[in-house]
Amino acid sequence: MKKKSLAAMVTSAVMVMAMLTGCGSGETQATAQAAEPSSAVESAEAAEPEAVEETGEEPAKDVAAADVQEIIDRGVLRVGVKNAVIGFGFQDELTGEYSGMEISLAEKIAESLGVDVEFTTVTAATRTELLDSGDIDCVLATFTITDERKESWDFSTPYYTDYVTVLVQKDSGITGLADLTDKKVGVSSGSTSARSLVAAMIENGVISGDGFDAETFDPVTWTDGISFAQYDDYPTISTALSAGEVDAFCVDKSILAVYHTDDRTYIDEKFAPQEYGVATKKGSGLSAYVDELVKGWLSDGTIDGLIAENGIE
Ligand code: GLU
């Protein structure tokens, strides 16, 4: 059943695969093998005429062959994931096993390529360095798609939309954006969080916003009505919140969930939709390949199924 549904899910991706590689292994291989590079379109037409039209734009076909083929030859897709985001990327400390929708998506991409998957834990601060250096092939790590980031990396069609909010100690008395005036907020370096929070405070009339420029915004130098302390990872921010080093902890709600203990609460507002996409090297063949897969999984209900299975709202 798995095999059958996968085949249905990735029909268009298989077409890309056939064009890009002309070979493969596992489930994809069966279809891809039938398609020599020169006869890919012909084979694809026989299999699924509509899919050919979809992929007929030839997404970076020539460039693609090399990097996708390299992964196939290596036999392993190396993926950067989170290890403490419940429902997305979570690692069991005892077994070392990862679980969550981003883990399942990564496994499915690898399955489609006919290779194994290898996970590397990343943070907001390390994920792009590891992608740039070639240590990992792609990132599925609550990575928000932004115009600025799209200049440096490719992102798939979004597979999930989260929101930013703020976690505080219950005894702080902070309940909403207005209470954050003149407070110090812990954020992760490399994240969109501080900028999102300042934009939301401006929108809600809590601060004036004079001097705010989304493009040049820097959490370290911002002091108008709120200030920020940047940390390399989320456990450190959580510790800083307990220690009173910061008054609040701001990031996507999905990430905050694991730090939401009984003595803490979210503020009333959530803001700044965060669309998560699979990040790949800019212009790589893997970008087009993965995007086809994600689009297929969005339209056939696979992604909705993963959201439900992982208890995500
Ligand atoms: N999703 C947000 C971002 O990409 C928060 C940081 C994170 O994913 O850790 O900036």
Pairing of strands 116-121, 84-85: unpaired
Q: List CB contacts of 49: < 8 A, sequence separation 6 or more.
A: none
pLDDT the model gives residue 65: 66
Which domain range does residue 254 map to?
162-274
What number of H helices and E strands is found in the chain?
14, 14
**144: CA distance to ligand 1 center in Å?**
6
**Both tokens assigned to 75:** 């036999």
Q: Choose which residue among 102, 123, 139, 142 to substitute to test ligand 1 binding: the one with the highest number of ligand atoms within 8 A of its C-beta.
A: 142
Q: Are residues 61 and 136 in the same domain?
A: yes
Dmax over CA atoms of the chain, in Å, equals 68
Question: pTM for the complete prediction?
Answer: 0.81
Which amino acid appears at position 3 of this protein?
K
Q: Are residues 52 and 196 in the same domain?
A: no
Residue 287 CB–ligand 1 contact under 6 Å? no
Distance CA 19, CA 21 (A): 6
pLDDT the model gives residue 244: 98
CATH of the domain at 236: 3.40.190.10
Q: Are residues 155 and 9 in the same domain?
A: yes
Q: Are residues 285 and 267 in the same domain?
A: no
**86: CA distance to ligand 1 center in Å?**
14
Mean pLDDT by 10 residues, the chain (313 residues): 36 40 32 30 32 44 72 97 97 97 98 98 97 98 97 98 98 98 97 97 94 94 96 97 98 97 98 98 96 98 98 92
pLDDT the model gives residue 209: 86
From the CA of 141, give the closest atom in ligand 1: 8
Q: Are residues 125 and 201 in the same domain?
A: no
Q: Are residues 139 and 228 in the same domain?
A: no
Considering its fold, how many domains does the chain have in total?
A: 2
Q: Are residues 24 and 153 in the same domain?
A: yes
